[in-house]
Amino acid sequence: MTQRDGPTAGTAPHPVLAHRYTRAEEREGFVRALFDATAPHYDRIDRIFSLGTGPGYRRRALRDAGLRPGMRVLDVAVGTGLVARQAVAITGNPALVTGLDPSEGMLVEARRVLPGVTLIQGRAERIPLPDHSVDFLSMGYALRHVADLGAAFAEYRRVLKPGGTVLLLEIGRPESRLAHLVERFYMGAVIPALCWVAAPRHRSGELMKYYWETIEACVPAETILGALGKAGFTNAACTTELEVFRAYTARA
């Protein structure tokens, strides 16, 4: 295994959000604590947010990116297993899927629904897997939470076999003003309010407020594609649906 000794010079996915934490070094602890606290309710949050369309979209995105039966998969930021469940269904064997997440709370929930899947606590910037050990790497809606795009993408390329595929699912800001206003109202106000009603004694509403704040502050798609290229990936591309849902793909 040849992990990098430290982060490469790169780009943070968004600037420091001073009302949440005051220094970039505090981001990881803040995010981990937030996901630990909301893990038992995360699947309910996802159903509220996606209006029940999430599983089908994730499965289609994996297939469109080239995931096939028999491939070995690493799902980074596995969370409660929302992407990994679809990867298991496609590959046909849970032993072919590995999930990585820094949040122990999320891993506790993932273990309930992913029997046979290897689950590891760890960070995108330092993946505890050997070089060239997976055919396909996925990450669902968590790229905004890494510390450094360059460091994460360098690790992704290291663990992927030559010619392997990376798929990054994200939510971005629409280009049109009207679509942005609708997204801001829905994700910045409606979804947090519904989460506070559904789980009033937990931090679900806070999580979704933070979710929206990171979307608004996130670097543009061109920056993410450029960082993939700098890490050595080829054929980097981004497809967008409904001006919001983005799927980044590239080859190692």
The CATH number assigned to the domain holding 196 equals: 3.40.50.150
- How far, in Å, are 22, 99, 119, 200 from residue 206 at the CA level? 17, 25, 26, 10
Task: Determine, yes or no, domain membership for 43.
Answer: yes
pLDDT on residue 136: 99
pLDDT on residue 109: 97
SS3 76: strand
In the chain, the number of structural domains is 1
pLDDT on residue 200: 62
Q: Spell out the per-residue pLDDT of the chain, length 252, in tens.
A: 544 443 344 689 998 888 898 888 898 999 999 999 989 888 887 877 665 568 899 999 999 999 999 999 999 999 999 999 999 999 999 999 999 999 999 999 999 999 999 999 999 999 999 999 999 999 999 999 999 999 999 999 999 999 999 999 999 888 888 878 888 788 777 877 777 776 666 687 888 888 889 999 999 999 999 999 999 999 999 999 988 899 999 999
Give the DSSP letter of residue 8: P
Q: Give the pair of three-digit tokens for residue 237.
A: 């591309």
Task: Determine, yes or no, domain membership for 26.
Answer: no
The residue range of the domain holding 194 is: 31-176+188-251
Please name the amino acid found at residue 21.
Y
pTM, to two decimals: 0.90
Task: Determine, yes or no, domain membership for 17.
Answer: no
pLDDT on residue 189: 79
pLDDT on residue 190: 81
